[in-house]
Amino acid sequence: MSDSNSPSGRTASSDPDARSGLDASSGLNGSAARGASTGHRASAGDADPQWAIGDYSFVVAASRLPVDRAEGPDGEVEWRPSPGGLVTALEPVMRDVGGAWIGWPGAAGAPPEPFDADGMHLVGVGLSEQQVRDYYEGFCNATLWPLYHDVIAPPQFHRPWWDAYVAVNRRFAQAAAEQAALGATVWVHDYQLQLVPGMLRERRDDVRIGHFTHVPFPGYEIFAQLPWRRQIVEGLLGADLLGFQRHGDATNFLRACRRTAGLATRGSLVRVPSAALGGEATTVGPRRPPPAADAPTGGREVRAAAFPISIDSAALGEIAKREDVHARAQEIRKALGDPETVLLGVDRLDYTKGILHRLNAYREVLKQGRLGLPETVLVLVASPSRERVEHYRILRDEVEAAVGRINGEHAELGNPPVHYLHQSYPREEMAALYLAADVMLVTSLRDGMNLVAKEYVACRHDETGALVLSEFTGAADELGTAFLVNPHDIEGLKDAIVRAATISPREARRRMRSMRRRVREHDVAHWAQTFLDALKQAPDPGPRAVEPGALP
Ligand code: G6P
């Protein structure tokens, strides 16, 4: 252990030389060998003596650092907040407890020096240009993303992309090990890092590992398409606790454990045999038959359960109370021509969000005169996302064509029915938009949670406004008094839009009040606490034994 009270700058990965080079072929950046000379060596029995031990008792490993690096007009480096729900969700938790955050800074090249911000120690993992293409744009966002979202777009399976995924996951696992103190808790996030728990477990059996999947976990018939399905299941099973958004996601995973790895499950528990049962804890064989009830002892049990994520509702609510934010909301309505009804959509420009379905429904509603013009306006905020991935480029063209068609057909000079904004905005501007909107449209075809729905609700202090919400979001499980829709059912979607736009103040209040209660009581702090408490209940770190007969 460290002999210093100041943890920052003392671990292997804080050596500047250790992080400068990028080796796309091995995925290692040279920090291992050099890092070992400055960091703490792994304990005896560690499988890889190159991996050092760090000083932080709480480590988060997520695809992204909670900042993006950008170049200013004069070439100076700037740090900007990253888009995406994960950062919004975890930032306040990290600030509260302190700890280290491992993530990719968002651009190819050498990562920045580790630095401290908002009570977090931030450690960048650099990706080469090739790794950005193969790992991030390829395996993460053109293989796993569409596969996990019900193959709305066809997933692509390429072996070099898989190799890159393995290499980058190993880099993250190493970086996490180098920050984690003996007995630390490591919380790994999302589909980009599913192999990290297994890789970490192989070398650091002292740490407690949690993994949370922010996206849906698909049904087995879809998951089974993945050529590397067994490795993914094994990688995740390196954790002590696996969190999912919905009960159905956890159930899908448990089924994948049975079908892919032949593991026995009971309730939310998976039995992972130890070496004593003929395999490493994280390298169970394919389709091994479930162990008999009188099988030899040894092994671990891993829990897979639902922990629906949320937002920092109080903090956003405070922003939405500010006078300047209210003034901005008024200004927005004025700029839109003071319409009677403002409809709002806010998404990353992603094919899972059902943006085209929403536009289709809106177009028909206008065409049929069910909502009038110019007294109705739709504001469509579609923030740029994954712009080099083919399906995202295609979607952008389609969305822009659809917006152009509606405006071409229905606009009067100075009064377009759709205001399309392909931009990202700071939180204050988002809060003002939520306040300005009478109806929020969330029409995802598949969505792990959808935090935008919760953000809208958190901002509506006066209990006005209406939420149209796809039943294919995790949020639909909690926000039952929204206008729930199947976005594929255009007639149903049109009805919901019209009903939401013409709702009585009394009904709006009834629906909104119940949703607000839920979002207030189940905020992101509650989510993190519940997950971390459950993780604490996991068996003590160190070699584990399962009592005979404790599992089927
Ligand atoms: C979703 C994922 C996150 C991801 C975010 C932004 O919310 O669950 O893991 O970070 O999208 O996507 P990006 O590819 O820009 O990181």
Residue 543 confidence (pLDDT) above 70: no
Q: For the structural domain made of 313-522, what CATH number should be given?
A: 3.40.50.2000
Side-chain half-sphere exposure of 502, counting CA atoms within 13 A: 9
**What is the tens place of the pLDDT at every residue in 386-402?**
999 999 999 999 999 99
Atom of ligand 1 nearest to the CA of 85: 7
- The pLDDT score that the predictor gives to residue 86 is 60
Whole-Å CA distances, 514 to 401, 508, 510: 38, 10, 7
- The pLDDT score that the predictor gives to residue 525 is 87
- Least Cα distance to 383 among 65, 82, 128, 68 occurs for 82
SS3 per residue for 250-274: HHHHHHHHHHHHCCCEECCEEEECC
- DSSP-derived letter for residue 446 is S
pLDDT interval class at 281 (50, 70, 90): very low
Q: What are phi and psi of 434, to 5 degrees?
A: -60, -40
**Single pTM value for the model:** 0.86
Question: Which of 143, 194, 348 to mutate to test ligand 1, by most ligand atoms within 8 A of the CB atom?
Answer: 348
| Protein residue whose Cα sits closest to atom 11 of ligand 1 | 84
C-alpha 84 to ligand 1 mean position (Å)? 5
Whole-Å CA distances, 12 to 7, 57, 474: 12, 16, 39
- The total of other beta-carbon atoms located within 10 Å of residue 259's CB is 17
C-alpha 370 to ligand 1 mean position (Å)? 36
Q: What are phi and psi of 211, to 5 degrees?
A: -135, 135
Per-residue pLDDT, averaged over 98-118, amounts to: 87
The answer to whether 319 and 430 are in contact (CB under 8 A) is no
Q: Establish whether residue 353 lines the binding site of ligand 1, counting it when its CB lies within 6 angstroms of any ligand atom.
A: no
**What is the tens place of the pLDDT at every residue in 236-245?**
999 999 999 9
C-alpha 270 to ligand 1 mean position (Å)? 28
Q: Which of 35-44, 110-119, 394-403, 430-439 has the lowest mean pLDDT?
A: 35-44
Q: Establish whether residue 215 lines the binding site of ligand 1, counting it when its CB lies within 6 angstroms of any ligand atom.
A: yes
- The pLDDT score that the predictor gives to residue 49 is 55
Helix (H) or strand (E) holding 236, with range, is helix 229-236
C-alpha 405 to ligand 1 mean position (Å)? 30
Q: Is 207 helix (H, G, I), strand (E, B) or coil?
A: coil
Residues of the chain above pLDDT 90, percent: 71
Domain 16-309+527-536 in CATH 3.40.50.300? The answer is no
Angle between helices 313-321 and 323-335 (to 10 degrees): 70
More confident residue, 22 or 456: 456
Q: Which of 146-150, 430-434, 536-540 has the lowest mean pLDDT?
A: 536-540
Angle between helices 390-410 and 355-367 (to 10 degrees): 10
Atom of ligand 1 nearest to the CA of 82: 15
Per-residue pLDDT, averaged over 308-330, amounts to: 96
Q: Establish whether residue 86 lines the binding site of ligand 1, counting it when its CB lies within 6 angstroms of any ligand atom.
A: yes
Measured distance CA(439)–CA(437) in Å, rounded: 5
The answer to whether 234 and 261 are in contact (CB under 8 A) is yes
C-alpha 368 to ligand 1 mean position (Å)? 37
C-alpha 234 to ligand 1 mean position (Å)? 23
Q: Establish whether residue 357 lines the binding site of ligand 1, counting it when its CB lies within 6 angstroms of any ligand atom.
A: no
Query: What is the DSSP track for 301-368?
Result: EEEEEE------HHHHHHHHH-HHHHHHHHHHHHHTT--SEEEEEEEES-GGG-HHHHHHHHHHHHHT
C-alpha angle 361-364-366 in degrees, rounded to nearest 5? 110
Query: What is the DSSP track for 271-319?
Result: EE--GGGTS-TT-PPTTPPPPPTTPPS--EEEEEEE------HHHHHHH
Measured distance CA(424)–CA(445) in Å, rounded: 22
Q: Which of 207-221, 284-298, 362-376 has the lowest mean pLDDT?
A: 284-298
Q: Which of 29-38, 149-158, 165-174, 262-271 has the lowest mean pLDDT?
A: 29-38
Q: Which of 72-81, 98-107, 432-441, 455-464 has the lowest mean pLDDT?
A: 72-81
C-alpha 540 to ligand 1 mean position (Å)? 32
Measured distance CA(152)–CA(185) in Å, rounded: 36
- The total of other beta-carbon atoms located within 10 Å of residue 513's CB is 12
**What is the tens place of the pLDDT at every residue in 471-523?**
999 999 999 999 999 999 999 999 999 999 999 999 999 999 999 999 999 99
**What is the tens place of the pLDDT at every residue in 52-91?**
899 888 999 999 988 766 777 888 776 655 654 466 666 6
- The pLDDT score that the predictor gives to residue 16 is 25
Q: Which of 3-12, 157-166, 315-324 has the lowest mean pLDDT?
A: 3-12
Query: Is the fold of 16-309+527-536 the same as that of 313-522?
Result: yes
Measured distance CA(216)–CA(476) in Å, rounded: 13
Residue 541 confidence (pLDDT) above 90: no
- The pLDDT score that the predictor gives to residue 37 is 26
- Least Cα distance to 525 among 181, 64, 178, 97 occurs for 97
Q: Establish whether residue 153 lines the binding site of ligand 1, counting it when its CB lies within 6 angstroms of any ligand atom.
A: no
Per-residue pLDDT, averaged over 119-123, amounts to: 85
| Protein residue whose Cα sits closest to atom 1 of ligand 1 | 84
Residue 361 confidence (pLDDT) above 90: yes
Mean of all residue pLDDT scores within the chain: 85
- The total of other beta-carbon atoms located within 10 Å of residue 319's CB is 19
Domain ranges of the chain: 16-309+527-536, 313-522
C-alpha 85 to ligand 1 mean position (Å)? 7
| Protein residue whose Cα sits closest to atom 9 of ligand 1 | 190
Residue 379 confidence (pLDDT) above 80: yes
Per-residue pLDDT, averaged over 214-237, amounts to: 98
Per-residue pLDDT, averaged over 414-430, amounts to: 96
